[in-house]
Amino acid sequence: MAYLGVSPSNGVRQKHTYTATASQTSFSGAGAENITLSYKDSNYVDVYQNGVKLSEADYTATTGTTVVLATGATVSDMIEVVVYDVFSVADTVSKADGGTFDGNVTMGGTLDVTGNGTVGGTLGITGAVTANAGVNIDNITIDGTEIDLSSGNLTIDVAGQLVINSDSGQVVLQDDTVNWGNLQNSSGDFVIESLGADKDIIFKGLDGSSTIEAARFDMSGAGSLLVGKANTTAGVTGIELETSGTIVSTRDGNTNIFLNRTSSAGNLIEFRKDNTAVGTISTDFDTIAITGNATTASHTSGLAFVSSSSAQRIVPCQQGTSIADDTMNLGGSGQRFDDIHASNGTIQTSDRNEKQDIEELNDAEKRVAVVAKGLMRKFRWKSKVEIKGDNARTHFGIIAQDLEDAFKAEGLDATKYAMFCSDTWWEKEITVDAVEADEEKGIEAKDAYTRRDVREEATEGYTEKTRLGVRYSELLAFIISAI
Query: Which three-class secondary structure string do you get for 82-130?
Result: EEECCCCCCCCCECCCECCECCCEEECCCEECCCCCCECCCEEECCCEE
Q: Each residue of 387-444: pLDDT tens digit?
A: 999 999 999 999 999 999 999 999 999 999 999 999 999 999 999 898 888 876 667 7
Domain ranges of the chain: 13-84, 162-188, 197-254, 266-323, 363-480
CA–CA separation, 93 vs 70, rounded Å?
48
- Torsion sign over Cα 339, 326, 279, 270: negative
Residue 9 or 367, more confident: 367
- The runs of H, that is alpha helices, within 211-335 are none
Give the neighbor-by-neighbor strand order of the sheet with 224-227. Answer: 201-207, 210-218, 224-227, 238-241, 247-250
Q: Is the pLDDT of residue 332 over 90?
A: no
What is the pLDDT averaged over residues 338-359?
A: 90
Determine the pLDDT at residue 117.
Answer: 66
Q: Is the pLDDT of residue 8 over 60?
A: no
Q: Is 288 exposed, middle or buried (0-12, 13-18, 19+ CB in 10 A)?
A: middle
Q: Residues 314, 305: contact at Cβ < 8 Å?
A: yes
Task: State the chain's mean pLDDT as an integer.
Answer: 86
Q: Is the pLDDT of residue 262 over 50?
A: yes
Q: Residues 286, 271: contact at Cβ < 8 Å?
A: no
Q: How confident is the model at residue 1 (pLDDT cuts 50, 70, 90)?
A: very low
Determine the pLDDT at residue 95.
Answer: 73
What is the pLDDT averaged over residues 169-178?
A: 90
Helix (H) or strand (E) holding 400: helix 400-409
Q: Each residue of 98-114: pLDDT tens digit?
A: 777 677 767 666 667 66
> In 3D, which of 352, 406, 341 has the Cα closest to residue 375?
406
- Torsion sign over Cα 231, 234, 236, 238: positive
Determine the pLDDT at residue 322.
Answer: 81
What is the pLDDT averaged over residues 141-145?
A: 79
Q: Give every CB contact of residue 325 below 8 A, 6+ residues apart in sequence.
A: 316
Q: Residues 212, 204: contact at Cβ < 8 Å?
A: yes
Determine the pLDDT at residue 13.
Answer: 83
Q: Each residue of 121-132: pLDDT tens digit?
A: 666 677 666 767
Q: Each residue of 286-305: pLDDT tens digit?
A: 889 998 876 666 778 889 99
User: Max Cα separation, the chain?
Assistant: 185
Determine the pLDDT at residue 109.
Answer: 67
Q: Residues 364, 412: contact at Cβ < 8 Å?
A: yes
Full-prediction pTM beyond 0.75? no
Determine the pLDDT at residue 10.
Answer: 47
Determine the pLDDT at residue 242.
Answer: 87
Between the CA of residue 471 and those of 354, 394, 420, what are the distances in Å? Answer: 20, 19, 7
CA–CA separation, 10 vs 479, rounded Å?
154
Determine the pLDDT at residue 9.
Answer: 46
Q: Each residue of 66-89: pLDDT tens digit?
A: 999 989 889 999 999 999 875 666
Beta strand 105-107 pairing with 123-125 = parallel
CATH number for 363-480: choose from 1.10.10.10, 3.90.226.10, 3.30.1360.200, 1.10.3720.10. 1.10.10.10
Q: How confident is the model at residue 278 (pLDDT cuts 50, 70, 90)?
A: confident
> In 3D, which of 107, 133, 144 has the Cα closest to residue 122?
107
